[in-house]
């Protein structure tokens, strides 16, 4: 065999392996989408408990699940939220008042749920309730400011899960925890990013501990959406409150114009990236509950898929530089 024949044979073999690899990739994609489209049977006998149902994602999710035939148990913070939701849904949806910062309230909700579901157990719990404020530069926070957010977003999620876990175990069901893209990329000071990182970690640990019992743990990672959490007026009020509680020395280090510049950045970001289509998030929640093979993580929103998730895999200095370019510079910075 001369050199040219050897080269032709090598290229022919190389081309064959490329076709094999391409065929395997196509088969893998086809199998993935097939499994992803499969749903569980008999949805209409499955109970799902959702927290934070007064407004936003939780409210919309309850309406969608109710229309699909799930037996929805909605935890609302206020009587008004519960009454409004009941008027907008069918006779099978039931509500209960729930404050996830209160151990007593959580335990009452768990006992109420146990009576509702009976021997069937609870197919799913969606830990959706959350808050974003206080949020701002870390130095502006007091310990109670951190605790206010951590108590809802992280400890509330953990305590709800642990109290409802026996009912989920009974049904071999689903735990759906709402984290955030800011649980991957810490872009804001305050307790929000910390709490969402905590939800991510708790969910991963829980999934690895209890998958033996047929329980699925899914994480929802929304990008920026127009909800009460991203409403500009409360954000600006909180930033002013945090600024006013600073000592004169700390305020001087940032400069009198820093607050105005910081608020302008928040307005720019929220107006530019917040998506008004909440169904992009509730579609993910619904899939996690109804799919026969739910995903471990769901990234909801184009900013999540094409900005925040890719950023989370990049070196830290990339995010650091990006935030330096966006956020204002303190007056006495070095």
Q: Where are the alpha helices (DSSP H) in the chain?
A: 3-37, 56-68, 79-87, 103-117, 143-150, 157-171, 191-210, 232-244, 248-254, 258-273, 279-290, 302-303, 309-312, 316-326
Q: Tokens 């735990």 map to which residue? A: 175
Give me 181's structure tokens.
Answer: 């893209």
What DSSP element (H or E) covers 299?
strand 297-300
Whether the Cβ atoms of residue 135 and residue 235 lie closer than 8 Å to each other: yes
d(CA 276, CA 151): 27
Taking Cα atoms as reference points, which of 172, 173, 135 lies closest to residue 153?
135
Q: Tokens 């001369």 map to which residue? A: 2
CB burial of 59-90 (b: ≥16 within 10 Å; e: otherwise) equals: bbbbbbbbeeebbbbbbbbeeebbebbbeebe
CB burial of 240-265 (b: ≥16 within 10 Å; e: otherwise) equals: eebbeebeeeebeebbeebbeebbee
> Could you tell me whether strands 71-76 and 47-51 are parallel, antiparallel, or unpaired per DSSP bridges?
parallel
Catalytic residue numbers read 192
d(CA 184, CA 272): 20
**Chain-centroid distance, C-alpha 18:** 39
d(CA 258, CA 63): 43
Give me 151's structure tokens.
Answer: 């108590």
């Amino acid at each position: 065999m001369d050199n040219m024949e050897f080269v032709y044979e090598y290229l022919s073999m190389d081309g064959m392996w490329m076709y094999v690899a391409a065929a395997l990739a196509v088969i893998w994609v086809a199998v993935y989408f097939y499994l992803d489209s499969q749903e569980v049977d008999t949805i209409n006998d499955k109970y799902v408990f959702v927290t934070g149902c007064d407004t936003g994602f939780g409210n919309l999710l309850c309406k969608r699940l109710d229309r699909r035939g799930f037996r929805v148990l909605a935890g609302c913070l206020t009587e008004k939220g519960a009454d409004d939701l009941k008027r907008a849904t069918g006779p099978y949806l039931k509500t209960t008042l729930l404050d996830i910062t209160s151990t007593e309230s959580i335990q009452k909700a768990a006992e109420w749920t146990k009576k509702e579901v009976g021997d069937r157990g609870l197919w799913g719990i969606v830990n959706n309730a959350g808050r974003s404020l206080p949020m701002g530069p870390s130095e502006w926070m007091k310990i109670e400011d951190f605790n206010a957010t951590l108590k809802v977003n992280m400890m509330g999620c953990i305590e709800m899960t642990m109290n409802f876990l026996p009912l989920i175990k009974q049904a071999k069901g689903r735990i759906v925890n709402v984290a955030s893209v800011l649980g991957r990329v810490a872009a804001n000071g305050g307790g929000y990013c910390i709490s969402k990182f905590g939800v991510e970690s708790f969910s991963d640990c829980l999934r690895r501990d209890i998958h033996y019992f047929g329980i699925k743990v899914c994480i929802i990672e929304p990008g920026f959406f127009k909800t009460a959490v991203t409403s500009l007026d409360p954000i600006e009020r909180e930033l002013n409150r945090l600024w006013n509680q600073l000592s004169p020395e700390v305020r001087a280090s940032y400069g009198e114009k820093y607050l105005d510049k910081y608020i302008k950045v928040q307005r720019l970001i929220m107006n530019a990236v917040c998506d008004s289509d909440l169904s992009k998030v509730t579609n993910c929640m619904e899939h996690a509950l109804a799919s026969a093979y739910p995903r471990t993580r769901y990234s909801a929103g184009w900013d999540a898929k094409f900005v925040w998730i890719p950023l989370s895999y990049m070196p830290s200095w990339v995010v650091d530089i990006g935030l330096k370019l966006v956020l204002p510079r303190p007056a006495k910075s070095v």
